[in-house]
Amino acid sequence: MRKVAVVGAGMTKFMRRAQETGKELAWETAKLALDSCDLTIKDVDCVVMGTAPDAFDMVHMKSEYLGDGAGAWRKPYVRGFLGGGTGVFTACQAWYHVASGMFDVCLAVTEEKMSSCLPHPQGAFVTCWDQFTESPLGTSLLWFFAWEMNRYMNAHGITQREIAEVSVKNKKNALHHPCAQLPGEITVDDVMNSEIMAWPVKRLDVSPTSDGAVVLVFASEDFAKRITDKPVWVEGVGWCLDTMYIGQRDLYYPKYVEYAARMAYDMAGIKDPRREIDIAEPYDPFSYKELHHAEGLLLCDKGEAVKLLLNGETQRTGRQPWCPSGGALGVGNAIAATGLMKVAELFWQLRGEAGGRQVPGKPRRGVAQAWGDEMQVGTVVVLGV
């Protein structure tokens, strides 16, 4: 299998409402990424786009519209889509564009503009469900998360206060991220006292909606070695989709994340992810999801994630930092862009370029993961140096 490296990265500041159009966000970030590795758009052989539902900005065939902004003019260009799992999948897609031997340089662009969905992007999610069995219930996305969080807490005897520690940790980590939207020093009591959205999910358990873009440059081994001394290799990729029928799944455990992780670990030759992975960026749109996903990523036994959290092992200075970037809770949740932000965080951490949030001890391998659709898809990427 052909080796593929990440050689450049760019990211805009995540914010509630960006003045730029989606095209402009994509252009600015693509330029940042190319500048970071001294390439120009002429060096790019193909472009992949990740952006979540068209309903956010009410643009049908959104990737066509974003094409020239993303640098795809007169180039092979395609969009991949796995709901909330899109961001990390975009990295998988860029990987196979290059690994297939058909292209040497692939630009992976993710862009999200949620602020154009008024009054709130929640309205777009309501049209996800099955039109016969689910939509008529008038559910919001938060209800689904509330069910899952409740089931997870019940299955393992975990409390809301324990889960709140995830928000505290991630928002604190985000203080050092120059692009973060909602960093902060908060306490467990702040989380517990914040407004209840859908019990047991409280406002500070939830990541903000964001506008933003992240771009990575992927290159073949030969090309990467020519332009950089510090390529970061794509060691494994995996993605997996479970049934849409939420009533047919036991929500206490994300089996689809485990399957996707096993695909990626097999490719990377990882036998024991608890020891062989130095940093993890599990997707954390809600506080409990970081723990839930870490279990799916086989970073601990089922129900044990909260113990690692409470004894400090997942802090930035701990044994295996989780979400050193600040995650979706701290940096912001510009759906597809946040997925790729997690891959970008691994890139910066593994190159030792993460500035104030650099994980000590020269990390050599990291895993990033996103999740989405109707709580049914896991996408996983393993990077290493």
Partner 1 sequence: MQRRVAIIGLGYTPFRPITPDVSFKEMMFEAAQRAYEDAGVCPRKDIDAFVTCEEDFTHGRSIFNIHIPDNIGAVLKRLHTLPAESLYGLADAYMLINTGLVDVMAVESHSKASNMLTPNYLVAHAMDPVYNKPLGYNPYFIAGLEMNRYLHESGVTREQCALVSVKNRANALLNPGAAYGDRLSVDDVLESEMMFWPLSRLDMSSPADGGIVIVLASEEKARTLCKKPIWVRGVGWCSDAPSLETREWGEAVYARLAGEMAYKIAGVKNPRIEVDFAEVDDTFGYKELQHLEALKLCPPGQAGFMVEEGATQREGDFPVNVSGGSLGVGRLDEATGLQKVLEVVLQLRGEAGQRQLRDVSVGLAQSWRGVPANSGAVAILSNE
Whole-angstrom distance between the N-terminal and C-terminal Cα of the chain? 17
Taking alpha carbons only, the member of 46, 118, 50 closest to residue 88 is 50
> How many Cα atoms are found within 13 Å in the side-chain-facing hemisphere of 269?
3
Q: Does 310 bind partner 1 (CB under 8 A)?
A: no
Q: DSSP secondary-structure letter at 353?
A: -
Judged by CB under 8 A, the residue of 3, 13, 20, 21 near partner 1 is 21
Beta strands 46-50 and 365-372, pairing class: unpaired
- Nearest residue (CB) to partner 1, 97 versus 177: 97
| Residue 341 C-beta: closest distance to partner 1, Å | 20
Q: Interacting stretch for partner 1, rule CB under 8 A, among 78-86, 204-212, 303-311, 325-333?
A: 78-86
Q: Does 262 bind partner 1 (CB under 8 A)?
A: no
Q: Does 343 bind partner 1 (CB under 8 A)?
A: no
| Residue 98 C-beta: closest distance to partner 1, Å | 9
- Nearest residue (CB) to partner 1, 99 versus 350: 99
| Residue 220 C-beta: closest distance to partner 1, Å | 12
Q: Does 60 bind partner 1 (CB under 8 A)?
A: yes
Q: Does 89 bind partner 1 (CB under 8 A)?
A: yes
| Residue 293 C-beta: closest distance to partner 1, Å | 17
- Nearest residue (CB) to partner 1, 208 versus 378: 378
Using alpha carbons, list the distances in angstroms from residue 311 to 144, 308, 317: 29, 5, 12
**DSSP codes of every residue in 163-176:** HHHHHHHHHHHGGG
| Residue 78 C-beta: closest distance to partner 1, Å | 5
Block residue for tokens 């909606």: 209
Q: Interacting stretch for partner 1, rule CB under 8 A, among 35-43, 54-62, 196-204, 213-221?
A: 54-62
Q: Does 61 bind partner 1 (CB under 8 A)?
A: yes
Q: Does 259 bind partner 1 (CB under 8 A)?
A: yes
| Residue 208 C-beta: closest distance to partner 1, Å | 20
Q: Does 196 bind partner 1 (CB under 8 A)?
A: no
Compute the distance between CA of residue 46 and CA of residue 153 in angstroms, rounded to an integer: 45
Block residue for tokens 């299998």: 1
Q: Interacting stretch for partner 1, rule CB under 8 A, among 124-132, 145-153, 216-224, 345-353?
A: 124-132
Would you give the distance in Å from CA 199 to the centre of its chain? Answer: 25
Q: Does 20 bind partner 1 (CB under 8 A)?
A: no
- Nearest residue (CB) to partner 1, 79 versus 357: 79
Strands (E), 158-223: 196-198, 201-202, 211-220
**Angle, alpha carbons 210-203-123 (nearest 5°):** 55
Q: Does 41 bind partner 1 (CB under 8 A)?
A: no
Taking alpha carbons only, the member of 206, 82, 86, 85 closest to residue 146 is 206
Using alpha carbons, list the distances in angstroms from residue 64 to 59, 71, 79, 152, 214: 10, 12, 9, 40, 18
Yes or no: say if 22 and 113 are a contact pair by the CB < 8 Å rule.
yes
Whats the size of the chain, residue-wise? 385
- Nearest residue (CB) to partner 1, 134 versus 345: 134
Using alpha carbons, list the distances in angstroms from residue 13 to 2, 72, 212, 214, 353: 34, 23, 6, 9, 17
- Cis peptide bond N-terminal to 119, omega within 30: yes
Q: Does 125 bind partner 1 (CB under 8 A)?
A: yes
Judged by CB under 8 A, the residue of 17, 35, 76, 154 near partner 1 is 76
Block residue for tokens 């485990």: 258
Q: Does 296 bind partner 1 (CB under 8 A)?
A: no
Residues 225-244 interacting with partner 1 (rule: CB under 8 A): 237-244
Q: Does 81 bind partner 1 (CB under 8 A)?
A: yes
Q: Which residues bind partner 1 (CB under 8 A)?
A: 1-2, 21, 52-55, 57-68, 72-83, 89, 93, 95-97, 99-102, 124-125, 127-128, 130-131, 237-245, 255-256, 259, 263, 267, 372-374, 376-377
